[in-house]
Structure 1
Amino acid sequence: MPALRSVVDWQWENAAAGSASGLATATFSHPLDVVRTRFQVNDGRISNLPSYRNTPHALFSIARNEGLRGLYAGFYPAILGSTVSWGLYFFFYSKAKQRYSESRKELSPGLHLAAAAEAGTLVCLCTNPLWLVKTRLQLQTPQDYHSYSGFHDAIRTIIKEEGWRALYKGLVPGLFLVSHGAIQFTAYEELRKVLIGLKSDEDEIDVAETLDSFDYATLGASSKVAAVLTTYPFQVIRARLQQRPSLGGIPRYMDSWQVIKRTARHEGVRGFYRGVTANMLRNVPTASVTFMVYENVLNILKLNRRNL
């Protein structure tokens, strides 16, 4: 029983640390998330969204024309989604790692990849409705007379006008985006092993004493860059699928394949990377903060548990 209790405590410590890190990072980076989303859906066709030259121009224009409310459009579902996602991700990920390591001394990169993919799939299925609502709220402007008044109104209206299945638009590219977390966590774990090996002596086994906050931040940023560069096109596809249909109920895109064909034909490779600058500015620093907060909160929780 004590061993089982210890395992459960460890899993929930990972969930708590993950939730805290997600909440911290989503709060200060949200305006860049709004900019990224608006760039992602800008396919050059007729749209009610204004055009922006670059990320600074977009931030300035939104602040001037829409105020703080525009910069923080979709903030509630973003905070909720980020907190829930990170909490569930770290929980599922640690649980998968524990299951895979039962008969092994050390997990291979392939098993780290499998654990991250498993966690990402479960999180995607749980949170897709939150990300859809966030995207639609971020794409609203003051000129939209047929707009959602907030998160709960968006949920009710989507179900009423489009049915509950509409809440899962963009799920397919979202599932492909599971590879993002898999790449990031695998890179993080492997780089972490290397760094611990470089900084620790042979008889030193306490990771909390081996690595510091700067190390965690560097590891988080490095792993994020690799993941963003390889998976960003799936984010563009998902955002374009999650746009609100026209007043006649006609979606801008019917499915992922249509998005891929139209984007490739009219915009080329560049179209699949629209908004990537804002994405990097948002996610590389926040990945640093996320893993720094996560590892430090986890170390504090472990220390407190040891002292009980």
Structure 2
Amino acid sequence: MASALVNGLGGAGGGIIAQIMTYPLQTLNTRQQTERLAKKNNKHNNIQGTTLFQIIQVIRTEGLGGLYSGLKPSLFGTAASLGIYYYFYQLFKNKAEAIAAINKKKGVGDGSVGMFSWLIVAALAGSLNVLCTNPIWVLVTRMQTHTQAERKQLEAEREALLKEASENNLTVPSLEARLAELDSRKPHPYGTLLAAFEVYNESGITGFWKGIIPTLIMVCNPSIQFMIYETSLKHLKRKRAANKQDVRDITALEVFLLGAIAKLGATVSTYPLLVVKSRLQAKQEIGGNSSYRYSGTFDAIIKMIRYEGLPSFYKGMSTKIVQSVFAASVLFMVKEELVKLFAGLLNKRQKVLKIVK
């Protein structure tokens, strides 16, 4: 129980630091994933979908603060998510290791936990985490894409106004005045409570679990990540032991690199699910185009293939790879150092209690 608590605290602390460092890239990536653009505008889409273009666009229209939309609930979500994940991951890991040790005594196996067992451990911890924290990430996605949705609304109103002008022969001064009024609008303040009310008004309580199906399927992402990480770490420790080196001498840099490799493999293999999840959790496009509205996971997949093509499932992947790999590397490095710190403090406390007794 103590080791699970230490790992939970270490994971939460590492996650917060990694989140703060990489949050602007995460915001951009969510906006790239949720941008609905038709196949015929591919060349134009490629320009608008670049990270550099979106950085300039956000800073120009929203200031630097736009890159940190939804940071507060995101930090809370990160701490809660990683704390829950690492806590249960360590509990299930301890159980798996105990079972492996018992099997070794019975003459089955070498006492180590196999890859399949690591997958099960990570999947169980991930599923519990998803069910508990999905509402937080729905709000974060809404806040990250709020100005994007408002921009789409203004574009729809502008198109409707131009259409009305052509049909009703509006005078140029009148048309220009109304267009200027639209262009002068600024994004409305959009906090966590307003996002929560909006989700509830649209879909009720179930709205907070939008995207739960692809999110649960995406549990395989950390499962793959931790399988690669644990397997690589075990291989490194065995190599150190074979060379008669202390396995505790594994450096923070080595942990950083192992975390980067693990996250890269997991991200590339599960990215399409992440795009579908973000599309479902974001505010549905405003306007008369039903091709941009999704009633569920399968509806989103079918419409994305039909109207945007297969490349839409990989929108913003380069940004995500940079953000997630760097975040995971920082997370693993900081988490391991915090675990050592917390474990040391816990041992000192236990020694003091023994002396007092």
Scaled by the length of structure 2, the TM-score of the pair is 0.77
The equivalent of 1:37 in structure 2 is 30
Which residue among 80, 91, 101 is the counterpart of 2:87? 91
Mapped to 2, the partners of 1:126 and 1:158 lie a distance apart of: 17
The equivalent of 1:3 in structure 2 is none
1:215 maps to a residue whose letter is: E
Gaps of 5+ in 1: 1-7, 46-50
1:115 aligns to 2:121 (yes or no): yes
The equivalent of 2:16 in structure 1 is 23
Deviations 1:69-99 (CA, angstroms, capped at 9, x unpaired):
2111111121111111111111110111112
Of residues 161-170 and 298-307 in structure 1, the stretch that sits farther from structure 2 once superposed is 298-307
Query: What aligned pairs does 1:94-243 form with structure 2 within 5 A after superposition?
Result: 94-105=90-101, 106-141=112-147, 143=151, 149-201=190-242, 207=247, 209-243=248-282
Q: CA deviation at 1:197?
A: 1.8
Q: CA deviation at 1:153?
A: 2.1
Q: Structure 1 residues 63, 146: closer, same or farther in 2, change over 3 A? A: closer
Query: What aligned pairs does 1:52-91 form with structure 2 within 5 A after superposition?
Result: 52-91=48-87
Q: Structure 1 residues 39, 53: closer, same or farther in 2, change over 3 A? A: closer
Q: CA deviation at 1:160?
A: 3.5
Residues 77, 137 of structure 2: 8 Å contact kept:
yes
Which residue among 2, 5, 27 is the counterpart of 1:9? 2
Mapped to 2, the partners of 1:14 and 1:150 lie a distance apart of: 32
> Deviation above 6 Å: which 4+ runs of structure 1?
247-251
Residues 11, 335 of structure 2: 8 Å contact kept:
yes
Q: CA deviation at 1:203?
A: 5.8
Deviations 1:244-300 (CA, angstroms, capped at 9, x unpaired):
246699881011111111222233331111011110111111111100001111112
Residues 136, 244 of structure 1: 8 Å contact kept:
yes
Mapped to 1, the partners of 2:237 and 2:225 lie a distance apart of: 18
Residues 148, 154 of structure 1: 8 Å contact kept:
no
Deviations 1:23-52 (CA, angstroms, capped at 9, x unpaired):
00010111111111111112215xxxxx82
1:271 aligns to 2:277 (yes or no): no
2:299 maps to a residue whose letter is: Q
3-state SS of the aligned residue for 1:284? helix
Mapped to 2, the partners of 1:175 and 1:248 lie a distance apart of: 30
* Aligned residues: CA RMSD: 2.4
Residues 243, 252 of structure 1: 8 Å contact kept:
no
Larger Rg: 1 or 2? 2
3-state SS of the aligned residue for 1:110? helix
Mapped to 2, the partners of 1:170 and 1:43 lie a distance apart of: 17
Mapped to 2, the partners of 1:37 and 1:150 lie a distance apart of: 18
Mapped to 2, the partners of 1:25 and 1:64 lie a distance apart of: 26
Q: Structure 1 residues 170, 53: closer, same or farther in 2, change over 3 A? A: closer
Mapped to 2, the partners of 1:223 and 1:246 lie a distance apart of: 35
Scaled by the length of structure 1, the TM-score of the pair is 0.89
Residues 221, 288 of structure 1: 8 Å contact kept:
yes
Of residues 185-194 and 103-112 in structure 1, the stretch that sits farther from structure 2 once superposed is 103-112
Residues 146, 283 of structure 2: 8 Å contact kept:
no
Of residues 24-33 and 133-142 in structure 1, the stretch that sits farther from structure 2 once superposed is 133-142
